[in-house]
Structure 1
């Protein structure tokens, strides 16, 4: 049962704080590159442990958040300095958002003072900021610039949760983006989560930020986040928070060696599945081309209807001329209500596809064929991938486009 009835003022005065550290790891380097400091209170009455949530909740009631937050930072840095080889690690420090939001320009940098007292280099400290709790953009910018100017890392915490805004990335210019655990949990089973995380990771690479997958608890989620491109990992799968003595004995090398072999096997299987799918789709497209290449454009629809009935992977078939204009109506593999007012409906003859990705690349780069990434089909609203190939029929050039249902992605929706 959670501790109640403790004196928060006594805890602050007597510095009754216990620090535990959770490793932050790099799979590519196969080692811990940092630790996050997690604070617990010690009940002066019976020496039982008080959770951080309860501790700070009580501090808020008694207007002691600022004093408690500073005590936690000070204690964390003193403890971190006692870790063997701490000079090769980065200490991740959490700040209570209300403390940051009330900082004024004239305030001393207590983080700098405590780092100096502990003998720590500023480049060994990462400041975690929960941007959603700092409503004032100017304040967020001032805070992040302050720590960056000292040479400390700025970490945007819980990104992707609640109302995280992309403009906050521009303002804070983080060195590290922590992807919220709500997105990480069961990511291996959710195509939507995978797509969002991949977008965050790709964005991080473009703006020069590392990405950290926070709260990983299963091997499958670790492997999926690695596949998506995450740089760093933190979570119970690797380690629960540890005392200094337990942390000194923590060795992740053997675990990560074994995991790296499994990841290589996983990636190999995944790559083979993609190759098989691509080869299967290409084979279907080529067989259809064999049937249409010697027919006139007036027979394209009849050939498509006969062909699509025997291939369940096909969502739609349509043909474009050399200008990207559709020749004949789209033929679909299943019945779709013909509603022109719907957002999703099959395109008809005369539709201009010249700005579509597949036509643009075939036409501009003089390619013979093109295969898209998964996207939402405007014909049905389903996830599909388009394979397009240029061919000659009579004295005209056409492009055969087949929208294949991306079953691997659909199975995860």
Structure 2
């Protein structure tokens, strides 16, 4: 710590100018790296008292806002957290501190807070500014404020993604280092296999943007397992550790024992990629028979009879090497009720062009191989399907053969 402690001066200012503001205490909750089985850092949380009774952070900041001292109170809380963090942190730990967008864009408090954090002696690269979920009337101003913090070396996190205002557009605008997923997402994901796969795809999407992912609110082993299976970078929640005012780095985290990277997390496999599902093996074999028979000259309906006999097979189809569909879909008699197109035009199959579908592109770059798409909404029905596809050459012409499987039916055995 430097000789000048800005925390002392700002706290004295609050006591002098607004003595009725809630008293400040800090609690810390670990943010756990699943890959390392250890805390990458700690989120600081306010534990306030007002008029000799505990009060929630929302109530404490409400008192500060009504007193016209919100900015000063936010600064005092942040510096209190940093001061406490410096007492127990090792050289690798980072601190997550919550800040309201109003403070980050304030012409007085924002630069003053950044200066005070730097003067505190904690390296900016070990402080993650966690932007709270709140409406910001001037989003461009928030983008500028975040860029100034980034230029000074601070890391940026977005809180509560998937709830309210924190959406994909905000991620693109602010380019955070970390995105924290709202706890409701993991709660709903464990209740439905389809939701769980959607969470996996969301994590993939955010990783593609270039951010680390924290799944918050982990309270059960099932939620912890699913978070690992979704390839989340970090987790946080009562299952691992509750917030506490006293941190001892020597104490193990609660919940799943993490020594040696506990196998129950590192080997979670509820959400295997579609192509790795054992349940698809009969469909793969039958699709291979369809491909061989069709290439040998058999009519498509005869070539596909073994594939279409599989329980959840929906259809086969043929595309030319530009993605244009050749002829109509060939479908079994069953599952007729599952083949109602959402929009009438989409029931028109022949002549449609599917060159932008991932299965078509993948089949072209892996000729002869049977590829399996991830689940997606088929235009020919209102349900998720996976498509088996293969690029073949017959009489010098290229084609892509496709076979759709109702994923919602297949996944009943996976839930």
Range class of TM-score, shorter chain: 0.7 to 0.9
Structure 1 counterpart of 2:66? 61
1:20 Cα deviation after fit: 0.7
Q: Distance in 2 between matches of 1:257 and 1:343?
A: 57
1:112 aligns with 2:121: no
CA offsets 1:279-334 (integer angstroms, 9 cap, x no match): 2221121344466555543xx33564x54663222011223456644343213342
Contact 1:184 1:221 (C-alpha < 8 Å) held by counterparts = yes
- Root mean square deviation of aligned Cα: 3.5
Structure 1 counterpart of 2:40? 33
Structure 2 counterpart of 1:10? 19
Structure 1 counterpart of 2:11? none
Contact 2:312 2:409 (C-alpha < 8 Å) held by counterparts = no
Aligned counterparts, 1:222-241, within 5 A: 222-241=224-243
Q: Quick one: structure 1 residues 384 and 120, their matched pair in 2 at CA, closer, same or farther if it must change by over 3 Å?
A: same
1:140 aligns with 2:142: yes
1:105 Cα deviation after fit: 6.4
Structure 1: tracts of 5 or more residues without a match: 1-7
What number of residue pairs does the alignment pair up?
394
1:407 Cα deviation after fit: 3.6
Structure 2 counterpart of 1:4? none
Contact 1:346 1:380 (C-alpha < 8 Å) held by counterparts = no
Aligned counterparts, 1:44-123, within 5 A: 44-45=51-52, 48-83=53-88, 85-101=89-105, 103-104=106-107, 108-116=111-119, 118-123=120-125
Contact 2:101 2:142 (C-alpha < 8 Å) held by counterparts = no
Q: Quick one: structure 1 residues 410 and 380, their matched pair in 2 at CA, closer, same or farther if it must change by over 3 Å?
A: farther
Q: Distance in 2 between matches of 1:351 and 1:323?
A: 11
Contact 1:369 1:389 (C-alpha < 8 Å) held by counterparts = yes
Contact 2:315 2:403 (C-alpha < 8 Å) held by counterparts = yes
1:198 Cα deviation after fit: 3.7
1:346 Cα deviation after fit: 6.2
Q: Quick one: structure 1 residues 68 and 343, their matched pair in 2 at CA, closer, same or farther if it must change by over 3 Å?
A: farther
CA offsets 1:344-374 (integer angstroms, 9 cap, x no match): 43624x4444444334443455334322121
Aligned counterparts, 1:5-404, within 5 A: 9-12=18-21, 16-45=23-52, 48-83=53-88, 85-101=89-105, 103-104=106-107, 108-116=111-119, 118-130=120-132, 132-191=134-193, 193-244=195-246, 246-248=247-249, 250-252=251-253, 255-257=257-259, 260-267=262-269, 270=272, 274-289=276-291, 292=294, 296-297=298-299, 300-301=300-301, 304=304, 307=306, 310-321=309-320, 324-333=323-332, 334-336=335-337, 342=344, 344-345=346-347, 347-348=349-350, 350-363=351-364, 365-390=366-391, 399-404=400-405
CA offsets 1:234-275 (integer angstroms, 9 cap, x no match): 11111110112x545632397113763113443399579934
Q: Distance in 1 between matches of 2:249 and 2:326?
A: 69
Structure 2: tracts of 5 or more residues without a match: 1-16
Q: Quick one: structure 1 residues 407 and 339, their matched pair in 2 at CA, closer, same or farther if it must change by over 3 Å?
A: closer
Q: Distance in 1 between matches of 2:108 and 2:47?
A: 30
Q: Distance in 2 between matches of 1:106 and 1:70?
A: 8
1:32 Cα deviation after fit: 0.8
